[in-house]
Chains A and B, each alone.
Chain A
């Protein structure tokens, strides 16, 4: 792992050993978390749909993911004839590397991460951009039209939603006055930043759903439209690599959001009660995020691509820009912190009002292609 602080010990052997041990710990925890997230998603979504979910393998189905993993590893690794060999085979790893690098800079407890960078948040932005490359490799290399469409959709969606995501995080880091993720959590001992920036929090959660391709933004991986999107041709170990990446990304985004908005390891009482409670806080907050994501998935139907893009460019982007400008004015003229809460709260209420208004707005005329076609047919008769 790359480490930035100045000093001659940067490439020393102990530094490498230390980093290696930390990486192994994080990767092991990540794998187990990803396995139980798959189990948890199946259980929670099943409960939302009045089913039981997995119950057979182990007590209450707790070993289901391990059984699935064994099955997936022993499955034949099929490569389609029309696929571009190297692009196809390396795409799962290319999607995994950015997620793994994000995990390497997150502080899970006070001063404990693989490495804490002074520019941690900027590092996360930079690495998130690389995430698209693996998806595009899978989409282009599969030699499959559905995979290609899925890849294009994923790229368009991720590029679009990265802008409100970064702007909302920027408005928080303006208040924190730092890009260091550990310091971010350290500054939230009294209250989490979500109180100061509710609008940024809502924008972050929305953009996060989109970056992770979770419902209602799961257009690139829509089973009923493009039979699974960019990883349609994958099977066995490579497919499970995509699954691992997806759930690891879910977890790392949740931990990241917890650190930036909900106080990370520090709120409440993180400094007083020691590292055990700090770790517990990190996991509780990420679990809250993840439960919310599963809840949204089982509640909200999938959007269309034009609704998705309209929402991003016409609503989220202007609101997040206005928030950055308002924060700038308040912070430069040393305004009180309640003013930040007030402006951001008004913005949050406005955003929710816009969403509710759009949801309940009655369409007066059909503008869809099918509707226009049928209308033309009727008038021709």
Chain B
């Protein structure tokens, strides 16, 4: 009972802040709404008692990605707090089409799939030891390769961003 009440509170909050991301006139408000929305999803994970996923959500999306967004905001826009930005343009109908299509696809897939371990709609908590076994032993090589890809991207970004003397 209490869980359902909390679930609805957070669900409404997530949708409201997600709408705030799209409809807010100031980019900073959008970014803050995004943080709140992602943190709300993390809280939902916590209610489902998938603790590792919840903390990863906080760590990766709540913290790192949004900070990168804020940094990008500050580096690219001037006077971001001031004038409201124009949110609609000639591409608006196409953007709406893509957004609605993506939403329909995701909801359809999420509802239609028979997920493994989904017996009686009760959440299954996989201990973090088991996750790390799978990640570092069974799929060790793909994990390392993925990290190498990330490293290459990082080095590439530094090379692109770096300005040599006299350039």
Contacts and interface: CB of A to CB of B under 8 A. Distances in A.
B141 interface: no
A155 B63 CA distance: 11
Interface string B53-92: 0111011001110110011001000001100000000000
Given A125-B59, A129-B64, A140-B70, A179 B81 contact: no
Helix, strand, loop or mixed for chain A's interface? Answer: helix
Given A2-B43, A6-B49, A141-B28, A136 B80 contact: no
A53 B39 CA distance: 43
B32 A87 contact: yes
A86 B80 CA distance: 15
A117 interface: yes
A122 B29 contact: no
B148 interface: no
Chain A contact-residue range equals 20 to 34
Interface in A114-156: 117-119, 122-123, 125-130, 132-133, 136-137, 140-141, 143, 148, 152, 155-156
A6 B125 contact: yes
A122 B26 contact: no
Contacts of A127: 58
Contacts of B67: 129, 132-133, 136, 155, 159
A8 to B, nearest CB: 10
A191 interface: no
A126 B74 contact: no
A244 B54 CA distance: 28
Contact of B51 (A84, A87, A118, A133): A118
Given A87-B29, A141-B81, A155-B71, A129 B62 contact: yes
B117 interface: no
Contacts of B58: 126-127, 129-130
A337 interface: no
A82 B83 CA distance: 12
Contact of B52 (A82, A87, A119, A137): A119
A127 B42 CA distance: 12
Contact of B35 (A133, A141, A152, A155): A133
A114 to B, nearest CB: 15
Interface of B: 2-3, 6, 26, 28-29, 32, 35, 39, 43, 46, 49, 51-52, 54-56, 58-59, 62-64, 66-67, 70-71, 74, 80-81, 125, 128
Q: What 5 A-B pairs are tightest by C-beta distance, nearest first? A: A129-B63, A126-B59, A126-B58, A11-B2, A4-B51
